[in-house]
Amino acid sequence: MHFAGVDDRTGAEALRGLTLTGEPLGPLPAGERWLHELIDAEVLDRAGSRVGVVRAVEANPAHDLLVLDDGTLVPVVFVVEERPGVVVIDPPEGLLDVNRPGAAG
């Protein structure tokens, strides 16, 4: 993020304690989404089986991770479809098993 006229740390520190606002970004390009919009979405696999519900999205160096209600982690790279309230994933075989809490790794 960059604010006009703030080009260094000193300029940024001068803004400490202020509320900053910006212009709305408008709609995202087709096929893109705000990650926070996935919170509370039901997660299905390609066959339509329920996998869980997205409770959080964690930043991760390789790919952001969907954190499901049972603690399962699903890299967002495996999201193949998203519509209001539903996320469809196509993970490689075994991924969900090794990414569940308590699974042997």
pLDDT per position in the chain (105 positions), as tens?
677 888 999 998 999 998 888 777 778 887 777 888 899 999 999 999 999 999 999 999 999 999 999 999 999 999 999 988 999 999 999 888 877 776 655
Examine residue 3 and state whether it is found in any structural domain, yes or no. Answer: no
Tell me which residue range forms the domain holding 47: 30-98
Rounded (5°) CA angle 26-1-33: 40
pLDDT of residue 105: 53
Q: What is the pTM of this model?
A: 0.69
pLDDT of residue 102: 67
Examine residue 103 and state whether it is found in any structural domain, yes or no. Answer: no
Examine residue 90 and state whether it is found in any structural domain, yes or no. Answer: yes
Rounded (5°) CA angle 27-30-57: 80
- What CATH number does residue 85 fall under? 2.30.30.240
Cα–Cα distance, 74 to 88 (Å, whole number): 11
Examine residue 105 and state whether it is found in any structural domain, yes or no. Answer: no
pLDDT of residue 104: 57
Cα–Cα distance, 89 to 44 (Å, whole number): 6
Which tokens belong to 73? 């982690």
C-alpha Rg value of the chain to the nearest Å: 18
Helix H or strand E segment including 68: strand 65-68
In the chain, how many domains are there? 1
Examine residue 94 and state whether it is found in any structural domain, yes or no. Answer: yes
Q: How far apart are the first and last CA of the chain?
A: 38
Examine residue 14 and state whether it is found in any structural domain, yes or no. Answer: no
Examine residue 78 and state whether it is found in any structural domain, yes or no. Answer: yes
pLDDT of residue 30: 78
